[in-house]
Structure 1
Amino acid sequence: MNISLPDALQSYVDEQVAGRRLGTSSEYVRELIQRDQDRQRLRGLLLDGADSAAAAPADRTYFDALRTRVSRGV
């Protein structure tokens, strides 16, 4: 895959590669794509959660029970 960028964007990418200690501009683009995928997954999870039925409130009792389960390894 080849990507053509205007000089200003190419300079920006070069600065990001140097500043992040990446080896190539391809690594920078891969990082951007992975971040975008993560954002899309998170967005999907948030939308799924918003569409789901209401659950028990996450109050002190909920977290106390959760701590107990975690400490027991359940």
Structure 2
Amino acid sequence: MRTSKPITVTLGKQQASLDARLQSGAYESASEVVRAGLRALDREEAALDEIMRAKIREAINDPRPDIPAADVFARLRSRHAGR
């Protein structure tokens, strides 16, 4: 039993990229190309998520004292007032 359903996709400029991959023999079908693209997107998003998690952990573990929000906004207003 099929676990996926057929879809229609309009690629626009990316059609040439798909066609080149098929002509090269690297992929046998448009479905393979799209699945590979989605897997790459999943990997990219997972990597970005991990980078953000690491930055958040770093910020939470930063031993320096917190800066009051009022001070931060005052600095921002001051910086942008000169523009």
TM-score range normalised by the length of the shorter chain = 0.5 to 0.7
Matched, 1:2 2:8: yes
Q: Deviations over 1:40-62 (max 9, x none)?
A: 000000000011025xxxxxxxx
Instruction: Give the unaligned 5+ runs of structure 2.
Output: 1-6, 63-83
**Structure number with higher helix proportion:** 1
Provide the residue aligned with 1:28 in structure 2. 33
Identity of matched residues, %: 13
Provide the residue aligned with 2:54 in structure 1. 49
RMSD: 1.9
Point out the structure with max Rg over C-alpha. 2
How many residues end up aligned between the 2 structures?
53
Separation of aligned partners in 2, 1:12 and 1:20: 13
Question: Given the two structures, how large is their TM-score scaled by the length of structure 2?
Answer: 0.54
Provide the residue aligned with 2:43 in structure 1. 38
Report deviation, 1:20: 5.1
Instruction: Give the unaligned 5+ runs of structure 1.
Output: 55-74
Judged with a 3 Å threshold, the aligned counterparts in structure 2 of structure 1 residues 43 and 5 are, in CA distance, closer, same or farther, namely: closer
**Higher RCO (CA < 8 A, seq sep 6+):** 1
